[in-house]
Amino acid sequence: MVRIILAFIFSLTCSLAWAESPTYIRAGQVFTGTGDALLPNMVIVVEGERIKSLSPASEVTIPKDANVIDLSTSIVLPGLIDCHTHIDHRADRYDPILQFRDGSFRGAFYAVQNAKVTVEAGFTTIRDLGSDPFLACELRDVINEGAVVGPRIIASGPGISMTGGHGDLNNYAPEVKFEVFPAERGFRIADGVDQVRRTVRAQLKHGVDVVKIHASGGVMSRGNSPGASQFTVEELKAAVYEAHAAGKKIAAHAHGTQAIKNATEAGVDSIEHGSLIDDEGIELMKKHGTWLVADIYNDDYLLGKAIEFKLPQEMIDKEKAIGRLQRENFAKAVKGGVKIAYGTDAGIYPHGDNAKQFFYMVKFGLTPAQSIRSATSDAAELIGRSADLGSISAGKFADVIAVDTNPLSDVTALEKVTFVMKGGTVLKSHK
């Protein structure tokens, strides 16, 4: 009883403390994350880690000694969401020999740096789709504990792959054995319905928020083709069943025309890449309400800077084969009315450059407002976090960013974020 009373007094004090010191953000213009328009001259009231209200400045009286953040010459938006990152990956590490020299902790140290540049670029939430087990889960937790600066993380384990699939180590002599993480295989490689089930369950047991599965070959793996389907529909269905039974979403890496259909039919929540989608695939995704998360900036980096970092010729060739097609097919999917969420595959190109994809999304068919919604309210819907994230409105987390020029006239404005608040805490302010 005493404890209950103490807890009550404590929570009362906390809420009083918060109630006493809200922060008032004066916003020149606001893009709320849901509509098309910019709202001029607004005030956002932040209490604790949440937004208390968004109102026209004329309706708000700001107390004299209040804590005020002046963004009255800026355009203010919700924190951005990247639905496809690899937070432990380095975009300067394509030389296979160097990759094998790196110990497993190195990825974790780099992930700390990557998390910081990501949130400072205005991406206050990421859905991490494939890091070593279970780096993203632990990074998520230490960020939540306040020990590391970074975005909110919706974490997966390693992408689940069939033997010889996109997530396997391929093209080495059969007698070559990599004993990187002996335990890792059980979290990464699965064949047959039972093993797929077991692998998804094992990942869930270790705390993933989302499951990632490879339904086709890929560009950045050896000895397989992006066009080739991987896993049977039955295997994919088993993964979907287990993820959904646990209340989690599941994302499928799928470049290939048939792989996109297989994964969509199996019931995944999002198709990642979607490079070779055809009209039938577009219709199927619409019918199932499946999201498309297409990393259409990557091609620039892979056929540019990555080559200087010794990207293997096989990968250059595969990128040349699908990069342009992916952008054209993205445009068809947009026209066809497929739901689009923003995801970049950051880690393939340097973390912190996440906003560079907006330009291509507009070039290939979205309006600037749609492209921003794909990284705010729409992304929040895909990741199942609409109640907390994706818009500037009462009750949401106070994840708020600002830019100096109007992103609705030139979306590249989002590449220069000058202010970042996450959960009511200012992480960047270049004013």
Smaller CB separation from ligand ARG, 45 or 302: 302
- 299 touching ligand ARG, by CB under 6 A: yes
- Closest distance between ligand ARG and the C-beta of residue 251, in Å? 12
Cα–Cα distance for residue pair 313/294, rounded to 1 Å: 23
Residue of 88, 132, 168, 212 with catalytic role = 212
- Closest distance between ligand ARG and the C-beta of residue 130, in Å? 8
- 254 touching ligand ARG, by CB under 6 A: no
Q: 348: which residues sit within 8 A by CB, 6+ positions away?
A: 86, 89, 91, 220, 295, 298, 301, 302, 306
- Closest distance between ligand ARG and the C-beta of residue 425, in Å? 32
- Closest distance between ligand ARG and the C-beta of residue 311, in Å? 11
Smaller CB separation from ligand ARG, 239 or 322: 322
- Closest distance between ligand ARG and the C-beta of residue 168, in Å? 13
Query: Coil, helix or strand for 201?
Result: helix
| Residues in 185-244 that interact with ligand ARG by CB under 6 A | 218-220, 226
Query: Coil, helix or strand for 128?
Result: strand
# chain residues binding ligand ARG, by CB under 6 A: 15
| DSSP for residue 397 | B
Over 86-97, what HEC string results? CCCCCCCCCCHH
Query: Coil, helix or strand for 177?
Result: coil
Cα–Cα distance for residue pair 216/128, rounded to 1 Å: 19
CA distances from 37 to 33, 219, 391 (A): 9, 38, 13
Return the number of other C-beta atoms located less than 10 Å from residue 89's C-beta.
Answer: 23
116 is catalytic: no
- Closest distance between ligand ARG and the C-beta of residue 213, in Å? 13
- 159 touching ligand ARG, by CB under 6 A: no
Candidate list 26, 127, 273, 356; residue touching ligand ARG; CB under 6 A:
273
Smaller CB separation from ligand ARG, 226 or 424: 226
- Closest distance between ligand ARG and the C-beta of residue 255, in Å? 6
- 155 touching ligand ARG, by CB under 6 A: no
Query: Coil, helix or strand for 408?
Result: coil
Smaller CB separation from ligand ARG, 77 or 315: 315
Over 46-59, what HEC string results? EECCEEEEEEEHHH
Candidate list 186, 323, 336, 350; residue touching ligand ARG; CB under 6 A:
323
Candidate list 138, 242, 269, 345; residue touching ligand ARG; CB under 6 A:
345
State the Rg of the chain over Cα: 22
- 85 touching ligand ARG, by CB under 6 A: no
User: Comparing C-alpha atoms, which of 390, 370, 368 is closest to residue 380?
Assistant: 390
Candidate list 156, 199, 298, 329; residue touching ligand ARG; CB under 6 A:
298
The dihedral region occupied by 376, where left means phi > 0, alpha psi between -120 and 50, and beta the remainder, is alpha
388 is catalytic: no
- 383 touching ligand ARG, by CB under 6 A: no
- Residue 349 is encoded by which pair of tokens? 């190109």
Distance from CA of residue 400 to its chain's centroid?
17
Cα–Cα distance for residue pair 184/202, rounded to 1 Å: 11
Residue of 88, 269, 295, 345 with catalytic role = 345
- 322 touching ligand ARG, by CB under 6 A: yes
Smaller CB separation from ligand ARG, 124 or 161: 161
- Residue 104 is encoded by which pair of tokens? 């497993």
Smaller CB separation from ligand ARG, 220 or 372: 220
Cα–Cα distance for residue pair 218/90, rounded to 1 Å: 18
Cis peptide before 359 (omega within 30 of 0): no
Smaller CB separation from ligand ARG, 268 or 420: 268
Residues known to be catalytic: 212, 345
**Which positions lie near ligand ARG, rule CB under 6 A?**
218-220, 226, 273, 295, 298-299, 302, 319, 322-323, 326, 345, 348
